[in-house]
Amino acid sequence: MRNPLLRPLSAALLALSLTAGAQALGPEEGPLTPLAPEAEHPETALAVLEQLARHHYVRRAIDDTLSSDTLDHYLDALDPQRAYFLEGDIAQFERHRYTLDDALRRGDLTPAFEIFNRYQAAAEAQLEALLAFLDSGIETLDFSKEEYLAMDRSEEPFLASAEAREDLWRRRLKASVLSLKLADKADDEIGPLLVKRYKNRLHRLKQTTAEDAFQLFMNALAASYDPHTQYFSPRTSENFNIQMSLSLEGIGAVLRVEDEYTTIASLVPAGPAEKSKQIKPSDRISAVAQGEDGEFVDVVGWRLDDVVDLIRGPAGTTVRLEVLPPDSEAGAPPRVLSLVREAVKLEEQSAQSEVIEVPRGQDTYRIGVIDIPTFYIDFKALQQGDPEYKSTTRDVQRLIESLRCEATEAPDADDAAPCEPVDGIVIDLRNNGGGSLQEANALTGLFIEAGPTVQIRSASGRVDLFNDEDGQVAWEGPLAVLVNRLSASASEIFAGAIQDYQRGLVLGGQTFGKGTVQTLIPLNRGQLKMTQAKFYRVSGQSTQHQGVIPDIEYPEVYDRDEIGESTLDDALPWDVIRPTRYRRGPNLAPLLALLEDRHETRVETDPDFAYLEAMVDRARARSARNRLSLNEGQRRLEREEDEALRLAIENTRREAKGLPVVASLEALEKDEDEASEGHQDEDSTEDATIKAASALVEDLEGDAESDVAVTEEEENDEDDRDALLAEGAEILVDYLSLRQTAAVSAP
């Protein structure tokens, strides 16, 4: 399987030219101009090559084999669905198969840009052809024919001829038109909508820069070493550092592109933009100026990242914006506002806590939940001696103090109810892809008294230990760690250490299996995130490929054959090293069978778990379809059958919970909308369970011809997954009661 971890970066670059919702095409734009390397690129390429050859964990010769692998990764990144390049193009590129290594040694990027420009030209030609077809009308498309579109062409051969490519794009266009027809769009709406979409893409294509092409090629080279080594351009480096530190200097606004305008998507709480009360979501930015007297620069039609560069800046400096409300009439004058940039904390992406109450007989147990989306730390603030630097461990420690009712901050209101300590804590690491190794070590230290947390082996074979040495424990009580297939790297270090020490229970699904350590290497331009070591659990086990196996496993939500380290090209192998010495806690093995029995008994009759499993089965059946019908009658029949299945699954759940059944999905959606607008009540977790299950289903009725598709799973990534979380709390209460029983019965 090709490397899906290379694709997000590739997609981020290609999305500049291919995704819908971009800027509108300006009338002043002419034909696409071929790109050429910038002056700094050859030196940077040589630096990347040298770092990889000298310091990567895998010792690879810079030879013909590396050259061949790099070419394959590059072609996969540019044309993953085999929709642009023809067999003739690939035949011409073959002359570079065993010479890219020689060219890189000379700092010669001509072959890389030749291939990129061929891709750009093919993409431009296809978009122009689609626009020409739409200009003549969509009436010639016959939706009564038995025709199909392959859903995934990544393993297919490249197209043999221009005629075959035109036929593929005709089918893609037909799929887009049919999707809009099934969404009840009128024929006279569909044509203009698609014209706007393809003009947007063509405009974005013409905004692609030499830096985009260079970064993509460098990452094809890096992926030939392992899936987690990446080159970051200066702009990508800045964004990566922001994600790691959860802080930036700017106005505190999340931006997106809608048509030709940069638009406010949301405001960061307590940021300058929100505090100003002068700007709100959906406002459009038409111009940006620096300082109180700087000249305004019109940014309509700009790339989003270029606009962001103008708006970001050092704390304490001023930026002025010209802003148009979303409902402003054409020609209306913009509103001018002045904002002083600040250091903005991205609190919504930091660790958060909540309390779940679990009734058992006459007792009610309080279980604290700490959701950790990533392992972050503001290295810059730490190095500067800022006592309030942002980090996962510091935030979690404060949350634990609050859950223990030891927080030093006063309640918000004088009549606030007294705090009641929690009985146990669940650390939720689902979808946490990792982050700082230092933070994984420090976080583990909050739950163990002292000892090693992880072993790190370098390419030379030297093994170093990360240790917790302070002897302090933030939480001594019952503990569970909730993981899934998207829990990776630092998440696996933490979960593995908790499991090895028998400090708590690990629940959920088998984790991703990323057992490698990356280091950031500054370059003359940008930086290289490079694999330089592998980490091992204190037991000596590697998590590479294998991941962490939970003590109690939940139903498998993600397909292990599609997601995980073992599915990635050029992933490092699994192995083991000698265990280190560490002090285990009380043996949990005698309790696991009892906990498993209680869990199975509970979920057998749990309507939410049954619903989740049924929706997973539905999602897998849909994703197993390898082709999409372009026959309107067939598609409508398929949709009716799928909606009937979903309605049956939903009503089975509702009947089991004593809720009224619904007559249609429209009625269900109406109920959900009304519930979301109303107050929170005892059924609020049910809606979250519905969303969680629905998030597993890829929208096969969507725009099938988009190279960078957005699925329901991606759109609903932030939805609560309450059925799984609630069961984690139930298991922890089981553990607490069994432990208490064992303590009472002990002599």
Catalytic residues: 489, 500, 514
Angle (nearest 5°) at CA 540 between 535 and 545: 55
Could you tell me which residues are beta bridge partners of residue 371? 352, 428
Could you tell me which residues are beta bridge partners of residue 364? 359
Which has the closest alpha carbon to 351: 337, 333, 372, 369?
Answer: 372
Q: Taking a C-beta distance cutoff of 8 angstroms, is the pair 1, 567 a contact?
A: yes
One-letter amino acid for residue 200 of the chain: N
Which has the closest alpha carbon to 171: 196, 139, 149?
Answer: 149
One DSSP character per residue, 60-97 reads: --SSHHHHHHHHHHHHHHH-TTS-S-BHHHHHHHGGGT
3-state SS assignment for residue 518: strand
Angle (nearest 5°) at CA 140 between 137 and 145: 145
Cα 690 to its chain centre, rounded Å, is 21
Could you tell me which residues are beta bridge partners of residue 217? none
Backbone angles phi, psi at 229, to 5 degrees: -90, 130
**Count of Cβ atoms closer than 10 Å to residue 180 Cβ:** 20
Q: CB under 8 Å to 326, separation ≥6 — which residues?
A: 263, 282, 283, 284
One-letter amino acid for residue 310 of the chain: L
CA distances (Å), 124 to each of 16, 119, 286, 649, in order? Answer: 13, 9, 27, 45
Cα 469 to its chain centre, rounded Å, is 34
Q: Taking a C-beta distance cutoff of 8 angstroms, is the pair 230, 145 a contact?
A: no
